[in-house]
Structure 1
Amino acid sequence: MPPARQADVLRWPVIGAFLRWRHARTSLQLVVLLITATLVAHGLFGSQIGPRNLATVVTWVHYRGLLVIALLAAGNLFCTGCPFVLVRDVGRRVRQPWLRWPHRLRTKWIGILLFVSVLFIYELFDLWALPRGTALLVLAYFGAALSVDLVFAGATFCKYLCPIGQFNFVASTVSPLALQVRQPETCRTCRTFDCIKGRPETNQRGCELGLFLPAKIGSLDCTFCLDCVQACPHDNVALAVGVPGAELLDLRRRSGIGRLTERWDVATLTVLFAFGGLLNAFAMTAPVLDLERWLARVMGSTSEAPVLAVLFVVALGAVPLAALGGAAAVTRHLTRPTSYSVGQIAVRYACALVPFGFGVWLAHYGFHLLTGGLTIIPVAQSAIIEVVGWAALGAPMWQWTGMQPGAVFPIQLGFILLGSIGSLALSYLISERDYPDRPVFAAAPWLGVVLVLAAAAVWILSQPMEMRGLGLSG
């Protein structure tokens, strides 16, 4: 069982007081909504040169980089400030949802499909270079969230459909922060269950994701909405500090989720999280262009879509199946007799790839943030000139970009190293949990998988990268 969490951020003087404030989330959402509206407006009506537009630069350079940093340091903070939910809440004042999400669809499969689809669309249309396309994607997101959540009750879009949400759910499992009960005894004597039912007398809703706090483990499926904090009449909710990744070892049944070892969809999501990180990083390197040209010749295709589709099927289908299936088969052979099938073993070990996957995403998105972080200044200066007709913030300083790629590479290697160490440790701890008599034999193939993936990540990051989002001079 993972070690108990101790420190409670909600009891900290300034941050804790703000998070306990009833309007904390709404305040964050309003700020993010204002920023989003600015980005969409500039994306639609501003310069259509990607590195000169706020929509593309802020979305694909700053937002993604800050997202992974926040997930690592503070958990699912960006879901806390999600503007889609704010717009949905306003819409629900006009029209209340009247349906429940079908029970058969209460899985991650649709969310997984949408997650992969967003990765595919991003690469197919080069959204990082298309301001109007980026703005339209954001508007489509708002439309999808409204369409679903004005019909279906609860946080249906967040829990089952949102691609960003699925990414954040998995990534937040390596954060040290999680919402949990402060004193279990208080919950055992509670008879109102306001944390999940809500408090009608104060118009405070309970957890819309169906996570009953006394049975909640870790941050998976938690949007950090803080509704449980406001709903609990006993002030018995803590934003506790614990060991990152420890929840991935927990075999207990989780409220709203069940046991991780029985969730093939969650296991698939964690695997795609890791391999998707590799593919997304590989797609920004020079060798991928040579590979796509070779595939196009072999397929006799003049269109990028089928070539990219083959690349995705191989990278996110064939390779993970071969890697996990092979490792599971070897583990089963080395630990005979065992009651687990090859598939069950793969599901039990899948979560071990999360730290590595997070390291890849952090190395990739961190690269863009560190090499292009300052570009927001000249892009904002240029945007002001477009709007008011004169340099109110001064002439754009296009020479402002960020760190040199060579200086960032050691930092990237550090992220890959830390993520790989986390996955190696999890692989062995899972082996100790499931095969206490033969942990070394059980873990060996999985340690090999992690090391091979780490080597692949280092090779990818060492390749020439596309400098997406850097400002243009002249």
Structure 2
Amino acid sequence: MTEKILGLIPVDWRFELTSLPYVRKILKSRWMPFLPIVLNLFVFTVILMAGYVGGVSAGNYNFAVMFVWIVWWLLLMMVMVPFFSRIWCMVCPLPVFGEWIQRLGFMKVRNKLFGLNKKWPKSLKNMWLVNFLFLATTYTSGFLTTRPIATFILLMSVIISSVVLMVVFEKRNFCKYIGCPVGGFLGLYSNMAVTEIRAKDPQICKDHKHKDCVIGNEKGHACPWMILPFDIGRNTYCGMCLECFKTCPYDNMAINLRPPATDLLVDKNRGLDEAWKAFIMLGIAIFFFLVMQGNMGFLKDWANAKTTEGYLTFVALHSIFNLLLIPGVFFVFVYASRTLGNKEIPLKKLFTNFSYTLVPLGLIAWIAFSFGLLFPSSSYVLHVLSDPFAWGWDLFGTAKFPWTPFLTGVMPYFQIGTLLFGLVLSLDIGFKISKQTFQKRDEAVRGFIPIAAFLTAVTIFLIWLFTG
């Protein structure tokens, strides 16, 4: 019997978007994604200029702060990741300078890349490095959201390090394993997306011995993300670069619509690195709310480094909460699951598998958190659009538009509804994972009770935190 997501949509249901001729034609063109990247490059040039010019001025009236931490972040969490997987990686302008240097050009196909082309160490082909990099970046959240120069420094650091590391290491190792602060959670949360890139007919790929998508040809580059496009099991490491659409001689690659969260049910390549990414992302959503939207003024002072002692306390608490406390509490519930379900199941396997139940809840928690940015703060965007460098411009007649929160009265209902949906989806995915793990249905039911209790308790806590 075919499993269904939320009891409604078969897990294996797909609709091929690239069956529409104009969609496939666009994706096969070498202008795609070059043009969106160039457009984004222009936007980020303005962001960098605004960040540099803005210095330490008020962040809510700065183009860099508003567009990176309000507009971009909201689009990323509320639209791009849940609906379009890693589409941001497709159009991200930050690593393109390194990639253009590798290819010694902008659009021409050149599969012999410039640089040292060193392999990334096998022991580091996971999310651990980007986990710690992202966590370290969040230590500066108090600066990034209030001081434009901090956003400038962060973005320039990513650009410069990408150029250096992409000259040393082959292809997109920088984005995949090394230096992109958001690459880890984009990879993990892309498993929730309702779109995917997959081979249409795996048998065609199996019969085709010359793997153009892997080694490249005159029409396109070898996969920059160093995956096997004909054997993508999950969205995690597919950067949606579209090169496989260009290189495939059989037009056998497709972009499909699918039910949400289906990749979380792929019982392959699950790991503790991704488990900890789930813990970190959930923990940061909670901590960010306390710092940015909560009423604990002392936390804001600590995050903004009003005192050295306070800032170090913030870093320590932030680290312990995300790296130890949440995983530790979750471990207790997993141990109870093993006790109730089947004591023969390895504890590590249970811990790893059940950690993926936090992915739907984590992404939904970030969406609920983002409502707290969207409704109260989005009116600032109108001001900075007209006066991006605070030079007294009024390009679109909105420079004097006052701060105007909207729909804040109904915001809690959006957050509650979103979090409850996240709980239902997490419970649905979680029970399916439980059945995969325990094999016997009665064991799966008993074993899932503690996990369901944990997910429910976290949701109740988030509702209280966000709306209380």
**By how many angstroms is 1:275 displaced?**
2.3
Partner of 2:188: 170
Q: Is the 8 A contact 2:85 2:193 kept in 1?
A: yes
Partner of 2:109: none
DSSP-derived class of the 2:223 partner: coil
**By how many angstroms is 1:293 displaced?**
8.3
Equivalent of 1:29 in 20, 33, 37: 37
What aligned pairs does 1:304-453 form with structure 2 within 5 A after superposition? 304-341=310-347, 343-383=348-388, 386=391, 391-394=394-397, 396-399=399-402, 401-435=404-438, 436-437=440-441, 438-453=443-458
Q: Is the 8 A contact 2:301 2:310 kept in 1?
A: no
Q: Could you tell me how far apart the structure 2 residues matched to 1:45 and 1:336 are?
A: 61
Partner of 1:89: 99
What aligned pairs does 1:9-408 form with structure 2 within 5 A after superposition? 9-12=17-20, 14-46=22-54, 48-68=57-77, 69-94=79-104, 95-123=114-142, 125=143, 127-161=144-178, 162-199=180-217, 201-202=218-219, 204-252=220-268, 259-260=269-270, 263-290=271-298, 303-341=309-347, 343-383=348-388, 386=391, 391-394=394-397, 396-399=399-402, 401-408=404-411
Q: Is the 8 A contact 1:375 1:402 kept in 2?
A: no
Gaps of 5+ in 2: 4-10, 105-113
Q: Is the 8 A contact 2:302 2:310 kept in 1?
A: no
Q: Could you tell me how far apart the structure 2 residues matched to 1:133 and 1:294 are?
A: 17
**By how many angstroms is 1:314 displaced?**
3.0
Q: Could you tell me how far apart the structure 1 residues matched to 2:300 and 2:313 are?
A: 6
Structure 1 counterpart of 2:383, one-letter code: P
DSSP-derived class of the 2:400 partner: coil
**Aligned pair in 2 of structure 1 residues 275, 42: CA closer, same or farther (>3 Å)?**
same
**Aligned pair in 2 of structure 1 residues 92, 210: CA closer, same or farther (>3 Å)?**
closer
**By how many angstroms is 1:332 displaced?**
1.3
Partner of 1:466: none
DSSP-derived class of the 1:84 partner: coil
**Aligned pair in 2 of structure 1 residues 36, 302: CA closer, same or farther (>3 Å)?**
closer
Q: Could you tell me how far apart the structure 2 residues matched to 1:302 and 1:80 are?
A: 40
Gaps of 5+ in 1: 253-258, 296-300, 464-474
Q: Could you tell me how far apart the structure 2 residues matched to 1:390 and 1:112 are?
A: 40
How far does the alpha carbon of each residue in 1:46-65 deviate from its partner, in whole angstroms, 9 at most, with x for none? Answer: 47221111001111111100
Equivalences, count: 443
Higher mean displacement: 280-289 or 417-426: 280-289
Q: Is the 8 A contact 1:385 1:392 kept in 2?
A: no
State the superposition RMSD in angstroms: 2.3
Partner of 2:459: 454
**Aligned pair in 2 of structure 1 residues 93, 156: CA closer, same or farther (>3 Å)?**
same
Structure 2 counterpart of 1:33, one-letter code: L
Q: Could you tell me how far apart the structure 1 residues matched to 2:393 and 2:360 are?
A: 48
Q: Could you tell me how far apart the structure 2 residues matched to 1:405 and 1:117 are?
A: 32
How far does the alpha carbon of each residue in 1:123-153 deviate from its partner, in whole angstroms, 9 at most, with x for none? Answer: 3x3x111111111111111112112111100
Q: Could you tell me how far apart the structure 2 residues matched to 1:146 and 1:446 are?
A: 44
> TM-score, length-normalised on structure 2?
0.89
Higher mean displacement: 82-91 or 169-178: 82-91
DSSP-derived class of the 2:196 partner: strand
Q: Is the 8 A contact 1:76 1:224 kept in 2?
A: yes
How far does the alpha carbon of each residue in 1:337-384 deviate from its partner, in whole angstroms, 9 at most, with x for none? Answer: 41312x321111111100000001111123312333332222122237
**By how many angstroms is 1:402 displaced?**
4.6
DSSP-derived class of the 2:15 partner: coil
Identical positions, percent = 21
